[in-house]
Structure 1
Amino acid sequence: MNVGTKVALAVAAAAVTVAATSGVLVHRVTAADQLSTARSELDGRLMSDAYDYYAARKSPARLNPRDLPGPVKHAVDKGVRVTYLDHGTLWAATRVADGEVLTLSRSYAPEERSLAALDRTLLGVGAAATVLVSLAGLLLGLRMGRRATAAARTAESIADGDLDARVRPGGRDEIARLSASVDTMADALGARLEAERRVTADIAHELRTPVAGMTTAVGLLPAGPATDLMKRSLDNLRGLVEDVLEVARLDAQVAVLETEERQVSAMTRRAVAGSAEVGLRIVEDAVVTTDPRRVERILANLTANALRHGAAPVEVEVDGPVVRVRDHGAGFPADLLAVVHTSGPQRFRTTAPGAGTGLGLTIAVGQARLLGARLAFRNRPEGGAEAVLTLPGPSSS
């Protein structure tokens, strides 16, 4: 149940409670006032009839009626002048000379009808007021719900990577403060990420020159195991620098697509070429319009990740515009899958120390987003990890 519904129900419940309580109070006060007035009036008439009785004048009062209620008779026997309401009849009685009981009675139906009419009026007014207040509460609740939902959706968009999303709140209540806090958080997060991107790109650019110099210097060294080790280390360092620069370009959204029509099978073959532990299976081929260099980079990164962190054999399957990369290892860690499905892979995060830089999946996800493709990760029920790349705009081949 959302906030708007809860507010509307709370306002409606309060309106019903207030209307019911007010109606009961008005009913009781009016009933007591009507009964007091009727008793006072009938008692006054009884006193007048008592004077008439002593003056031997005719009056509507009766002596010792047989239908006199027991409580009235009991009170009069104690010498009390009494008025009493019994089943719609109002009685007034007093003792006169010679132990006689002089009584007056009348129907209480007019007061009961008047009270019933008042109850109907109270019920109608209360129902109308409850409906109006409930509608006002519903409108207020819907407005609050829309504002809270807008803030939540903006926060979700920011979590998904849209750092330009803003709530732009209005008002001065708590929801406005929450919305303003979301916007402030987005501004701070965007500024921090931009600073990190600039630092990453600057470091990678600065490293290019010394790496190139070291490569030239190593090329002048005599052949030998130490030289080979240095060459391999420099190749790894150069690859890391290029990966960091690629991530920086993707973050800055300055990458340019060079699209053309290519067979999915051809791009996949080039991506896995030279990997003897990778098996390729073509279920159905397709021609897509895309940037082949970026598709091949995605598939090469996925295959390398499967070889490094999974277990052989690694299987690559082409099924139209869909390419699946599977391994037979332990699968993706649960925490990694949770992060991938919300904000994408964390850069420089690996499943084990010394197992790589953690940029492969980051680059693959960024390239797929740039191409308008879908890249999903999951663990297969029978074991092993699977990455599924779905390319857009296929045509049959």
Structure 2
Amino acid sequence: MNIGTKVALAVAAAAVCVAGAVGLLVHRITAADQLATARADLDRQLVAAAYDHAAGRETAARLDPPDLPAPLTRLIRQGVRGTYLHSGTHPVLWAATRVSDRTVLALRRPYGRETAALADLDRTLVTAGAAATGAVALLGLALGVRMGRRATAAARTAERIAHGDLDARVRPHGHDEIARFAESMNAMADALGARLEAERRVTADIAHELRTPVSVMVTAAGLLPPGPAADLVTGGVRKLQGLVEDVLEIARLDARVAVVETEHRQVSAMARRAVAGLEGVGVRIAADTLVETDPRRVERVLTNLVTNALRHGAAPVTVDVDRGPDGPVLRVRDHGPGFPPDALAVLTTSGPQRFRTARTSPGTGLGLSIAAGQTRLLGARLVFRNHPEGGAEAALYLPAGDTGGTGSTGDTATECGYEDAGAVVPV
């Protein structure tokens, strides 16, 4: 139930309570006033009839009527002149008094006119209350819908900011709490954008400053005499060089200066090129597709996913090429323990986090961050999960784009030189 409906129901409930209370009060006051007026008038008539009876004149009053109500009879026995309303289908108002020790003089008159007038008043009150409640409910609904739209717009802007659109802003209207919330969200987005921009600049500056000395170190390591020490230094320098290149790639992705160059390419060909030279990796082709995309970026994403699977999972690692309802799908699965629950929660909510490493949790590192950035450039989706049969799985959903046709499983296996398209084959 949205906020507009809740506000409308709350206002309608309040209107019903107010209308009911006012209607009940008016009903009681009117009924009491009607009865008091009728009793006073009938009592005056009874007093006049008693004087006429004493003077021997004929009156409309009755002596000792047999249908006198019992409560009024008991009251008369106490020597009190009184009136009594006998309700029912045909209500009657009685007035009686004692004119001698054994004689009672009584008057009666129909009370239906007053009862009908009170019923008409009740119907009028119900109609007016219903109309007022409906009008107030519509007003509350309009107010609630307006508040709901403002809250929904703020929520959508927050979602855009959470997905990386730091230029998204909310237009505050008015001076209420929602407007203040919108202003606070805009201030938060400004502060977040400034911090991320500062982080990106520092990262890019550090990477640029390290690039030249690292290149010198690579050249110097190549001049070392062969031996275990030289191999150790060369391996470390190469790893440092790869790290610097990864940081520069992230800086380019953050700066949004990367250019996507699309061309038609077979999905299976990109998968084979991405895992070429990696041991313990197999490619399984269920359905091949010709897709228009940036093959270099797709291969970079797959390479990073496979490398991460080999580093943090366990061989064998499989790359499944398939076609889903919305386009090609490439799934990278290892046979290790899978993603830890806390890491998987971060991956599925906010995506890969860079530079988050610890002794107990190695974090996602730069590889998955670059893969996520490349995926956004391609307009694709990257989904992480733990496979039901064990191991971690990352699925890359490519947009369908302009496909040139698909190949069946059997045709793809023959074209690629595989004996069985359903088997995992090393590349």
Query: Normalising by structure 1, what TM-score?
Result: 0.95
Opposite residue 91 of structure 1, the aligned amino acid is W
**Residue of structure 2 in register with 1:377 after alignment:** 384
Over 3 Å counting, the alpha-carbon distance change for 1:355 and 1:19 in structure 2 is closer
Say which SS state the counterpart of residue 359 (structure 1) adopts.
helix
Deviation at 1:351, TM superposition (A): 8.3
Aligned to 1:208: 211
Following superposition, the deviation at residue 86 of structure 1 comes to 1.4
Residues 2-29 of structure 1: CA deviation (Å, up to 9, x unaligned) = 2222111111111111111111111111
What do residues 166-200 of structure 1 show as CA deviations (whole Å, max 9, x unaligned)?
A: 22120112222222222221111111111111111
Letter of the 1:26 counterpart: V
Tell me by how many angstroms 1:284 deviates: 3.2
> What is the correspondence of 1:256-271 to structure 2 with a 5 Å cutoff?
256-271=259-274
CA contact (8 A) 2:353 2:363 kept: no
Aligned to 1:44: 44
Q: Deviations over 1:114-134 (max 9, x none)?
A: 111111111111111111111
Distance 1:283 1:52 in 2: 115
Aligned residues: 397
Question: Which residue number in structure 2 is paired with residue 2 of structure 1?
Answer: 2
Give the 3 Å change call, closer, same or farther, for CA 297–71 of structure 1 in structure 2.
Answer: same
For 2:405, the equivalent position in structure 1 comes to 396
Which residue identity is paired with 2:349?
Answer: T
Partner of 1:307: 310
Query: AA paired with 2:344?
Result: L
Residue 366 of structure 1 aligns with an amino acid whose one-letter code is: G
- 8 Å CA contact retained: 2:352, 2:364: no
Distance change in 2, residues 1:362/1:98 (3 Å): closer
Q: What pairs with 1:110-149 in structure 2 (closer than 5 Å)? A: 110-149=113-152
Q: Distance in 2 between matches of 1:329 and 1:350?
A: 20
**Distance between the aligned counterparts of 1:381 and 1:255, measured in 2?**
36
Equivalent AA in structure 2 for residue 396 of structure 1: G
Q: CA 1:239–1:322 in structure 2 vs 1: closer, same or farther (change >3 Å)?
A: same
Give the letter aligned to residue 335 of structure 2.
H
Partner of 2:341: 334
CA shift in 2, pair 1:204/1:267, >3 Å: same
**Matching residue within 188, 193, 196 for 2:191:** 188
Relative distance call for 1:102 and 1:319 in structure 2 (3 A) is: closer
The answer for the alignment partner of 2:95 in structure 1 is 92
Unaligned runs of 5+ in 1: none
Between the aligned partners of 1:217 and 1:9, the Cα distance in structure 2 is 77
Cα distance in 1 for partners of 2:284, 2:360 equals 32
Report the counterpart of residue 417 of structure 2 in structure 1: none
Per-residue CA deviations over 1:16-71 (Å, capped at 9, x if unaligned) read 11111111111111000000000001111111112212222221112221222222
Instruction: Tell me the SS of whatever aligns to 2:85.
Output: strand
TM-score after normalising by structure 2: 0.88
Alignment-derived partner of residue 163 in structure 2: 160
The offset of 1:290, in angstroms, is: 1.9
The one-letter amino acid paired with 1:146 is: R
The aligned amino acid for 2:405 is S
User: In structure 1, how many angstroms separate the alpha carbons of the residues matched to 2:12 and 2:109?
Assistant: 44
- Give ranges in structure 2 of 5+ residues lacking alignment: 407-427
